[in-house]
Structure 1
Amino acid sequence: MHTLFCIAVFASVDSIAVALTDLEQWKEFKHAHEKNYPHPATDAYHYAIFQKSLKEVKEHNAKYEAGEVTYSKKLVKYSDLPKEQWPQLPPLLISDNFIEDDISEDIGNVEIPEAIDWREKGYVTHVKSEGAICGDCYNFGAIGSLEAFNKRVNGELVALTILAMVPTQLP
């Protein structure tokens, strides 16, 4: 009976350590993203969502480490909000007469690979954060294309940045 009690105590201490780790990460997350929930109930609500997001990220990254998926995840500034409250972009409209070109006639008998990992070829820079400005994804796509084009032409991969253009009020 004494052994069973010791196992129960160690198990509870272990889960307290995990909870403290989550709490420490919650405090760091709020500080990093300038979040402040003064009411304890509101803080607890967002903390619960954060814990769920944290668990999803940890489980996914364990699969990444095991080679089961090809990318890792991390927490983002919205990780303490329900997914339905995340900012949404309008859907991409595709014309009804959009036809995918068959390029097989243009390239002859050249074998086309099933996939190309441009990271392995050195054409991709680090992942950039859009920050709080919605709609910048188009800019980030253009910047990525310019970086790859520059690498192709000049042989050097240069990370470009976007300076946010914040409208100002005129008097």
Structure 2
Amino acid sequence: MQVFVVFLVAVVTAVAAASSFLKDPALEDPWQEWKGLHGKQYSEETESYRRMVWEDNWRFIEKHNQEHAAGKHSYKLGMNHFGDLTNQEFNKMNGFRPDPALRKLPVFNSTGSTVRPTSIDWRVKGYVTRVKNQGVSNYIFI
């Protein structure tokens, strides 16, 4: 029994030490600024995990924006108050449930016969309103 307890303590210590090495020290200032901006506070047990998720999201955003600069995407991404959530957590919080039947629908392929403008500014047409922070609401306010 004592051997098991010693082993368990060693494992917990190793995991705790490893979690501190997983953090990117270069992201410490952005992490602290983001937490302050969005009023995020975590327990000691939660902080490492949330930081890891946030760093993964940060890297994803940075990679996407580099690809945007290279012309691979038509839009840029930015970090918001959901930055410490995984995709699964975000979708669960917002009630997203993918419809399996939609996976079987055919994909629309344009014949190319339609003349399309190179760009459309939907703001000029009055279809887009200013951005509003809706918190965690599942409703749209226009």
TM-score (norm 1): 0.50
How many Å apart are 1:78 and its aligned residue? Answer: 1.3
Using the alignment, how far apart are the partners of 1:38 and 1:64 within structure 2?
A: 36
TM-score by length of 2: 0.59
By how many angstroms is 1:126 displaced?
A: 7.4
CA distance in 1, matches of 2:34, 2:68: 23
Equivalent residue number for residue 103 of structure 2: none
Unaligned residue ranges in structure 1 (runs of 5+): 1-17, 92-110, 144-171
Which has the larger displacement, 24-33 or 76-85? Answer: 76-85
AA matched with 1:22: L
Quick one: which amino acid aligns to residue 45 of structure 1?
Y
Number of residue equivalences = 102
Listed as ranges, the gaps of 5+ residues in structure 2 are 1-22, 98-113
Question: How does 1:41-60 map onto structure 2 within 5 Å?
Answer: 41-60=45-64
State the identity %. Answer: 16
- Deviations, residues 45-68 of structure 1 (Å, cap 9, x unaligned): 100000000000000000111111
* CA RMSD of superposed structures (Å): 2.9
Match of 2:41 in 1: 36
Q: Relative contact order (C-alpha < 8 Å, sep 6+): which is higher? A: 2
* Structure-2 separation of matches of 1:131 and 1:35: 17
Equivalence for 1:74? 78
Distance 2:36 2:130 in 1: 22
Q: 2:31 aligns with which of 12, 22, 26?
A: 26
Asked whether the equivalents of residues 54 and 85 of structure 2 are also in contact (C-alpha less than 8 Å), the reply is yes
